[in-house]
A and B are shown apart, each in its own frame.
Chain A
Amino acid sequence: MCTHLLPRGAITALTVLLLGSPLRAADSKALGHALRSVVRIQATTMEPDLRAPWNVGRVQRSTGSGFVIDGNLIMTNAHVVSNARFLGLQRPDSPRITPATVKYIAHDCDLAVLQVEDKDFFKGLEPLAFGTVPQLHSTVATVGFPVGGQRMSVTRGVVSRIEFRPYTHSGLDAHLTIQTDAAINPGNSGGPVVQNGKVVGVAFQTLRASTAQNAAYMIPTPVIQRFLADIKDGRYDGYPELAIGTFRLTNKSARERLGLPMDNYGMLVTDVFPQGSSDGLLKRDDVLLKIDGHPILSDGQIKLEGEMVQMIEVVERKFVGNTVTFTVRRGDQDVTVKVPLKGAWFYRSRARQYDTLPRYLVYAGLVFQPLSLDFMRAYQPKQPPILDAYEFHTNERGYLERPEIVVLSNRLADPVNTHMDRFKMTIVEEVNGRKVGSLRELDNALAQPAERYVFTLKGEGVPLVLEADKVAAAQARIAKQYGIEKDKNIGTAPNEE
């Protein structure tokens, strides 16, 4: 018996032959020309490591999907192209990899739009149109390039659930999602989910198999359309926030005391965050009765376009600069309150950061970094002061005094800092009597000429003292020893954006 080894050339010819043949599928009405409009995206990314923030980061490769939309653009997920150093697109009918760049990216709703310099790329590709929110149990098809093969894949399923859910890309935001049992796997991200030839969603995340089976999610068209409208002016502004806390007003005595009838309407405002949209306009103990004319039920639901949704959906569809109007019961009067909408910078430290270099400062071998979600994920600290700060800083308005929490995260051993291990994972409160409320304020404090720098740190009862002349001698030594080219990246604090 003999084994045949196909010569290399032959393999290439065979592959081209297969790729060259037109892709056909049954049920073309459902798919429309989706099969001709979906591309594979190859991303080469560099992920920074917050534990060595001066390093460039490790190079990784990943695959995702995207589809052609009007204007010679490709739509995909933000998480497919985040931190990318190089993006390569591949059409279903060609082996060529064409470079692309990110035109707009929205990390708060996991969407991105790519542009391609080579205009010939789009020859023969049809842009896909968008549909509306599909009905429960209607059939949808997912098209993309998931694991399990090289060629385009089509899977089919039904719409299982339509609900507000967290978008894991930012780790902070939640928007409308559509759940389907169509198989969505790694590589499908960014690809279209189609019904009757139109895009009804962008496939983007799944539940772990250990948690549930056949539960995958797509970003529905209201979120997509809002993103496309937002970028029309050439800039992505992001989702605005009301920045209030509310409570369901169902308790009899509470309603009585506020002079409300025993009906099912009215939601209580318990918290109004300073520097947020509602600051100075809404008050604690206000009862929200209507939002943009829609009556609000005590559990926060309103009827919007025939569906019962959470009232926040009204804000979800608006843009920074728009206004939302509340009818409010305040004391014994009903008042109208107009709230101009903007973002809430003080929430953003709890969102994962992308496409930026980590912010840090190294001084005398001590590493200072701002506390953030990425910091927590990288270090997984257990020290109570850090965990407390992360949990309570925003809600307890710590951000008014200190826009950022600066953490002494690490010590790069050197004679100048030999006895300072005890200060690892403590929070910088003051330097030489000056409050430190951001990385920039720390930098400024250390730039002030002084004989010594005395740090007060939360989490350690003893002050940390560095003598200026000792530090000066140590800086070059430490930079060389630990391969640190840049000893700081102050960047912009969340309140400075």
Chain B
Amino acid sequence: MRLPRTLAIAALLAAGPTLFAGTVGGKYEPSILRVRVTRQGHDFIRPWQKVPPKQASGKGVVIGPDRILVPGNLLANATLVEVERIGDGTRCEAVVECADYVANLGLIRAKEDAFAKQLKPVGIRTKGKRGDRVTAVQFEPNGTPSISEGRIKTAEVTTPAGASGRFLVYRVSIDLKLGHTGIVPFFRRGKLIGLMVSYDKSGRTATLIPSPVIEHFLADLEDGKYDGFPEAGFGSAAIRDPQLRRYLGMANGDPGVYISQVIPGSAAAKAGMAKGDVLVKLDSYTVNRHGQYDDPEYGPMAISHLIKTRRQVGAPLQCTVRRGEETLELTATLKHLATDEYPVPPYVIGRPPRFVIVGGFVFQELSRQLLGIWGKDWRTKAPRHLTRIDREQWERRQPGERVVILSRVLPTPENIGFENLSFRIVKTVNGKAVNSVRELAEVVEKAGPTQYHTVLFENSSLPELTIKAATLELANRFVSERYRIPHLSQLD
């Protein structure tokens, strides 16, 4: 006797999870999580407050019992991070272990053991090469996995999406069934080979942060202190013009690139490298005229790959340079410049902007984050004197010296007459050069019996600011109350 249809379906549904387990999400499901982030950045126009919170989401890959790999930028200014199972939607709060905003890599871990135990870590494939077949794992909104197959086309050095620096990437030729769905993990033989950060649909090419870079990131963490990707601190340029080559005393086939810039205080500077040197060798590798070395895995590669991804901070780098008639052997100890060591920090994430308000005059430290006030076209839209000091920061400042600006004036009865000044670079306060907001605050506080504090700007066409010391406290109180500002300074 045939079962009535409804009964048959009911029986099927009753079989429930057991029957469908392994199908919702597929075999990768326990290794890939949705990551939901609530982030709240700081307001660089009103540095005493935060901007409204926003939601962001992405994917993470489970690479260890306590480690979930995510894109670093996802964690910027995060106040709450949650991970979620794609299969059944269970959520769990996560803790941020590390975020690298330059390489765009981050590590988080699930807070609850019960949740973490259900996850299945994947290994990381160390070597990918041209021609290798790889698998992209995506998920439809309902959790159904979508698998696409492709091949690694090339390995090259470029700036991947979300990163701010040149890194090794894999270019994969692939037709993603679901198109660009954000970060997509790629696997080869069950192991992670890269995280896709951008996809060119018409060119059918995916760009991945590859496993060597991910492994460098993880290896760096091993000693408990994350140092970052090393830099040598020199800029180089190819020497192709035969007239230039002859001038530098180089024969036709000679190797080497021209050192066009050496950043003060950098590893290269400390090793004694100078602008005008011709760099011919790095460690045992010859540097060809295009700025490449012969990488044992990838063949001719930009030298930045050798420095960044094949070495860790603290490692020595042998640099052979030709200077005039001489050949010099220099040893650079690789380092990673902390953002605070830049005169104009490349980003300010995870901490409030530094500022101090003196009698309604708002002083801040210049950073690219602040320049971001002018939108993504800030390089052309922001005031020229600010973009110039960003571009020429190493010529105009020493390492450790930051740029203090008067960003705006909150009018008070005492400062009226100066209220139209904005975004001006400060040269001295009370006759002293100031290289940080803290220094400025200290100069004002420690001024002996003085009638007036004075601020001079770099622009010689601007007047000197005059701030009457006797009424400063009154003015500060006016600002706090009238403008409802919770705190008048953030010095660190």
Contacts and interface: CB of A to CB of B under 8 A. Distances in A.
Interface string B356-385: 000000000000000000000001100011
B396 interface: no
Contacts of A392: 384-385, 388
Contact of B243 (A245, A270, A395, A466): A466
Contacts of B415: 251, 253
A461 B258 CA distance: 9
Contacts of B379: 384
A271 B461 contact: yes
Contacts of A232: none
Interface string A247-283: 1111111101100000000001011000000000000
Interface string A61-89: 00000000000000000000000000000
A340 to B, nearest CB: 23
A384 B391 contact: yes
B251 interface: no
Contact of B417 (A254, A284, A463): A254
Contacts of B246: 465, 467
Given A251-B415, A253-B466, A256-B468, A419 B240 contact: yes
Contacts of B261: 461
Contact of B418 (A251, A388, A470): A251
Contact of B416 (A250, A418, A419): A250
A251 B466 contact: yes
Dominant SS among interface residues on chain A: mixed
Contact of B388 (A256, A384, A462): A384
A462 B380 CA distance: 25
Interface string A371-393: 00000000000101001100110
A174 interface: no
B260 A461 contact: yes
A479 interface: no
B463 interface: yes
Contacts of A250: 416-417
Given A248-B417, A249-B417, A463 B463 contact: no
Contacts of B280: none
Given A252-B417, A257-B451, A452-B247, A395 B460 contact: yes
Contacts of B391: 384
A337 interface: no
A420 interface: yes
A271 B418 contact: no
B452 A253 contact: yes
A249 B417 CA distance: 7
Contacts of A245: 460-461
Contacts of A231: none
Contacts of B466: 251, 253-254, 256-257
With a 10 A CB-CB cut-off, give which of B417, B418, B462 has the most chain A CB atoms.
B417
A463 B247 contact: yes
B125 interface: no
A419 B275 contact: no
B244 A465 contact: yes
Interface string B254-267: 00001011000000
Contact of B460 (A271, A387, A391, A470): A271
Given A253-B466, A462-B260, A464-B244, 11 more contacts: A245-B460, A249-B417, A252-B413, A253-B415, A384-B388, A420-B241, A461-B237, A461-B260, A461-B261, A463-B244, A465-B247
Interface of A: 245, 247-254, 256-257, 268, 270-271, 284-285, 382, 384, 387-388, 391-392, 395-396, 418-420, 452, 454, 461-467, 470
16 contacts: A245-B461, A247-B462, A257-B451, A271-B461, A384-B387, A388-B384, A388-B388, A392-B384, A392-B388, A419-B241, A419-B244, A420-B241, A461-B235, A462-B260, A465-B244, A465-B246
